[in-house]
Amino acid sequence: MNAPRNASSDRRRPGSVSIRDVARRAGVSIATVSRAVNRIPTVDPVLAERVWRAIEEVGYLPNTQARALVSGRSRMLGLIVSEITNPFFPELVQEFENLAVAQGYEVLIGSTNYEPERTESLIRRMLQRNVDGVAVMTFGIEEELVQKLVEREFPLVFVDAGPDLPNIRVLKVNYGEGIRQAVQHLAALGHRNIAFITGPLRLRSAAARRDAFLKSMSELGLTVPADHIVEGDHTMEGGIAAMAKLIALADLPTAVLCSNDMTAIGALHALYRTTHNVPQDVSVVGFDDIHLAQFMLPPLTTVQMSCMDLAAAAVEALRAGIEKDHPKAEKTEWQIPTRLVVRQSSAFPRGTLPALVERAAGHARGKR
């Protein structure tokens, strides 16, 4: 006997079960099975029970593609990040995935690696897969690249800024608040000579962080010489190089604020290599509060931009755009707070009285 393993087409994967098999088993029509599966109340509870038992028995799983084809909704969300290897993003991805799955969505992830043609292909792929919405968490993508998505009126979520169009929602990160806290923290410790290592300035978010720094400084009446603003690229390598430039200056700043944690970690390395102690000689402050930050030596004082907040806002904003009866369907802006987390990479400026006292106490305790 070479009969097919099930009554449906023999092209199908073995063990695959369709709604028809369930219908046959339960002795009802496929329409009834569909209604039972979708918990439509007009179905007789007795029949529904029979359907559910049949589903259990034959091991039925509804085919998502067929569902998507007919319903026009794929229940997939696109998530575009800059580079998955930057430790900030996996944390974001993880949280985004958790939340999306909890809401019954699948996640299609893509990283642009800052390459326009990659972004291009990424968007085309997401369009083809017919995602229900896309979160563009690249912190400053070129707008024209997402033009296609905008045209097709996909629900879209951007960080910081996006075109002012229907179906576009924006997560406004309040860089100012956290950076002001950081600057005031340093100023309160006595720092006056504070440098800033930026991210790649073509990124809107990097420029926003730098501007927030300059604003906070001028609020305190502190001036920033041009050579105290050095451009990095949000990688550790970039942080090392940028810090090296600052070390080469005639007046080494007493504190350095960095546009992200990886840059700050790079700065720590550069200082360590040149036998400068942190925080005794130079205070270093990061931005993001990635997991790694607390395990640095010394643990990094940093401005927290919570992935949890960001991911939660992104998923909520996408759902608001997708599900027409969502309570926040009309909301277009989500505020993301930032706040300073003080650890041990920031202290009194070198040469000041409190620093000397600290250092003496430290030596007395046997630390180096």
Q: Which residues bind a copy of itself (CB under 8 A)?
A: 11-16, 59, 61-66, 68-69, 72, 74, 83-85, 87, 89-91, 93-94, 97, 101, 106-111, 121, 124-125, 127-130, 148, 151-154, 236, 265-266, 269, 272-273, 275, 291, 295, 297, 366-368
**Rounded to an integer, what distance in angstroms lies between the CA atom of residue 32 and that of residue 242?**
66
Pick 186 or 264: Cβ nearer a copy of itself: 264
Asked whether position 90 contacts DNA by CB under 7 A, the answer is: no
| Stretch in the footprint of DNA (CB under 7 A) among 44-52, 157-165, 168-176, 315-323 | 44-52
Asked whether position 245 contacts DNA by CB under 7 A, the answer is: no
Q: Which does 35 bind (CB under 5 to 8 A by kind): DNA, a copy of itself, none?
A: DNA
Under a CB-based contact definition with an 8 Å cutoff, are residues 231 and 201 in contact?
Answer: yes
Under a CB-based contact definition with an 8 Å cutoff, are residues 257 and 182 in contact?
Answer: yes
Q: Which does 14 bind (CB under 5 to 8 A by kind): a copy of itself, DNA, none?
A: a copy of itself
CB of residue 76 vs a copy of itself: minimum separation in angstroms?
8
**Rounded to an integer, what distance in angstroms lies between the CA atom of residue 210 and that of residue 250?**
23
**Rounded to an integer, what distance in angstroms lies between the CA atom of residue 85 and that of residue 107?**
18
Answer whether the bond into residue 298 is a cis peptide, omega within 30°.
yes
Asked whether position 42 contacts DNA by CB under 7 A, the answer is: yes
Asked whether position 16 contacts DNA by CB under 7 A, the answer is: yes
CB atoms within 10 A of CB 271: 24
* Strand partners of residue 287: 303
**Rounded to an integer, what distance in angstroms lies between the CA atom of residue 151 and that of residue 302?**
39
CB of residue 242 vs a copy of itself: minimum separation in angstroms?
15
Greatest Cα-to-Cα distance within the chain, rounded to the nearest angstrom: 94
Under a CB-based contact definition with an 8 Å cutoff, are residues 361 and 355 in contact?
Answer: no
Residues in contact with DNA by CB under 7 A are: 8-9, 11-12, 16, 18-20, 27-32, 34-35, 37-38, 42-44, 46-47, 60-63, 66-67, 69-71
